[in-house]
Chains A and B, each alone.
Chain A
Amino acid sequence: MEVLAYQGLIGLSSAMYLWLISAGLTIIFGVLGVLNFAHGSLFMLGAYLGYTLYGVVGLPFGVAVLASMAAVALLGAAVERGLLRPLYGLDPSYQLLLTFGLVLFLDDLAKLVWGGVFRIPPIPPWLQGSVVLFGRPYPLYNAFLMATGALVGGGLWVLFDRTWWGRAVRATAADRDMAAALGIRTPGVFSSVFMLGSALAALGGALSTPVRPVAPGIGAAMIVQAFIITVIGGLGNLRGAFAGSLLVGVLSSYGTLWFPEFELFFVFAIMAAVLLVRPQGLFAR
């Protein structure tokens, strides 16, 4: 029983990366209607920038994380304004194709800049060590991840439900033209939402560096996982993305324990089944 609970806790902490990346993907899809293939590559860029600033330049870990979030957010704003904006009136297939082109570009760019080898800096001293959970030592860093994930969840809830900006975003998501008619600058809302989503992806990436090696392929690997989660939770549904992250994180943690051979197959089978039976997502109200 303790083994099960412990394995669940391990799953919960890896669910936090999934949550951070799918939160960004979800709010961008929910508001802009763009399914961003390049979101995994933004996660990867966050990881590489975090690694460089913290592991190579030697900035404090917290500063490195915040700086890489800011840099990726700026890149996100440039992508939204320069590349996506001309495509809003067209078939959504073109947005998918454009962001796929960005995946090719960014993943190869990372290879060019950082090389193809795995990189992993040490855990910052203040996050080393462990706490005791279920009578076993549990890494402090994983506990820190869970706290951060919960904090981001709470922060997003406050941002969307309790601020003027959040109301403007929800209005724009519900009816773009009506929101514009009411005086909301919808292009600005789009840019800021894309920046927020990009920053969340970068946060996930930067936080992953001390425990998960970074390599150019992680963009393509992460985006597929994020797709699975956002589909299970319901495209554009933030609460669903949170629940979906926990579900997938914990299930794949048990999955690797019990049926490592077909874990991948079942995860995609679940995604297909949700799309067929309940396309609005398992957690839609």
Chain B
Amino acid sequence: MNHATRRWALAGLVLVLVLLPVVGSRYVVYLTVHILLLGLNAVGFNLLFGQTGLLSFGQAGFYAVGAYTCARILLAWPSLLPGVLGGTAAAAVAALVLGYLSVRHTRIYFAMLTLAFGMMIFSLAWKWRAVTGGDDGLVGVPRAPLELLGLVVPLPTVERYYYVVLVAAVLGVVVMHRVVHSPLGLALRAVRDSEVRAAHVGLDVRSLRLVAFTVAGAYAGLAGSLLPPLENTVTPPIAHWTASAEPVLATLLGGIRSFAGPLVGAFVLVVAKDVIVRFTVHWSLVLGVVVVVLVLGFRGGLVAALEGLALRAPRVQPAAAGEEGG
């Protein structure tokens, strides 16, 4: 895709997203909110996995920290912005602290450590009844009005809340695009491709990994804190390690080496799930096969596969370069 078509496609996509509540049904809007939340989470996760080369199995923990913090704030002070910002900040702080410990390791030890931390957060959500409501979760979380600069915007409908999520998602994606294409993004990719070389050119490998981990945690927290106002409730399963797989699968499905990959993956994952569960309850069976096929045959994900198809010419897979050193 050249520059001009890409720009037109992007403009068209934004137009569709803005007009969606007008043309689409409430259910389509609700589904799109979920796509945007998973997309935010996956875009953050890919800074850690695709760019920095660290596979975390604990993202659900930070998602839950964001969700529970936001829910507690909204229950005490029904105003959307403090809830969402507070949830995001809490997740970022948790990611900073746990990340400081986690980035001592890489690869399998890193994956195990993040799994353990994520499950510690899960067990708190499940058992610390006084704060988290235990296995009942927190119920009756209000979809509090958005209060900004003296303006009070009530959000009684899903359609209105959708615009809040859309703005948050667009901001999040634009910021991430800047990060990935900044010198910081370049440094992260250097760490991914060769830790030793990165260290020899003077990069602080551990700090760079910690930055990526914290940003990914903050994105998970932002997505998580946008959830309770939509559903009016938070329950422990969102923190379980199997939920950590969602951003991982979305990213893998879309493609870890392209910026749009996690977003495309989130879209396909949510829509495919919605379609498949109409025919069969055995959605995981299908998903499992898809994961195996992707890992074996299409490690570049859907974006790379489609680009390859569009070009109709043999080209170097973007995934191939990073795999050897990754």
Contact = CB atoms under 8 A, between A and B. Distances in A.
B184 to A, nearest CB: 22
Given A262-B123, A265-B123, A97 B252 contact: yes
B295 interface: yes
Contact of A265 (B49, B104, B124): B124
A237 to B, nearest CB: 14
Contacts of B111: 35, 93, 96
B6 to A, nearest CB: 29
B67 interface: no
Given A275-B109, A275-B116, A279-B109, A111 B127 contact: no
Contact of A108 (B105, B122, B241, B288): B288
Given A224-B115, A272-B120, 12 more contacts: A94-B323, A97-B252, A98-B295, A105-B288, A107-B284, A111-B282, A112-B282, A224-B119, A224-B241, A231-B112, A261-B127, A275-B113
A35 B108 CA distance: 8
Nearest to A262: B127
Interface of B: 49, 53, 55, 101, 104-105, 107-109, 111-113, 115-117, 119-120, 122-124, 126-127, 241-242, 245, 248, 252, 282-285, 287-292, 294-296, 299, 323-324, 326
Interface string A102-139: 11111111011000000000000000000000000000
Interface stretch (A83-91, A186-194, A241-249): A83-91
A220 interface: yes
A268 B248 contact: no
B124 A112 contact: no
Contact of B296 (A86, A109, A235, A261): A86
Contacts of A228: 116
Contacts of A103: 288
Contact of B55 (A83, A96, A262): A96
Contacts of A87: 295-296
Contacts of B101: 272, 276
B284 A271 contact: no
30 contacts: A35-B111, A89-B324, A90-B299, A90-B323, A90-B324, A91-B53, A91-B107, A93-B55, A93-B111, A94-B299, A96-B108, A96-B111, A97-B295, A100-B291, A102-B288, A105-B288, A106-B288, A107-B284, A111-B282, A224-B115, A228-B116, A235-B108, A261-B127, A264-B127, A268-B117, A268-B123, A269-B120, A271-B112, A272-B120, A275-B109
Secondary structure at the B interface, as helix, strand, loop or mixed, is helix
Contacts of B119: 224, 264, 268
Interface size classification for chain A: 35 or more
Nearest to A93: B55
Nearest to A90: B323
Nearest to A265: B123
A137 B282 CA distance: 44
A87 B326 CA distance: 13
Contacts of A96: 55, 108, 111
Contacts, number: 120
A155 interface: no
Interface in A177-229: 220, 224, 227-228
Q: Which 10 A-B pairs have the closest CB atoms?
A: A105-B288, A101-B291, A104-B288, A108-B284, A264-B123, A108-B285, A265-B123, A272-B116, A93-B55, A101-B292
B246 to A, nearest CB: 12
Contacts of A109: 285
A124 to B, nearest CB: 33
Contacts of A60: none
Contact of A97 (B116, B248, B283, B287): B248
Contacts of B285: 104-105, 108-109, 112
A62 interface: no
B116 A92 contact: no
B295 A101 contact: yes
A85 to B, nearest CB: 10
Contact of B245 (A100, A224, A272): A100
Contacts of B292: 83, 98, 101-102, 105
A275 B105 contact: yes
Contact of A264 (B107, B115, B126): B126
A271 B285 CA distance: 30
Given A97-B252, A262-B127, A265-B127, A271 B116 contact: yes
B105 A279 contact: yes
A104 B109 contact: no
A89 B105 CA distance: 20
A38 B126 CA distance: 25
B284 A227 contact: no
A90 B295 CA distance: 11
Contacts of A101: 287-292, 294-295
Interface string A33-50: 001000000000000000
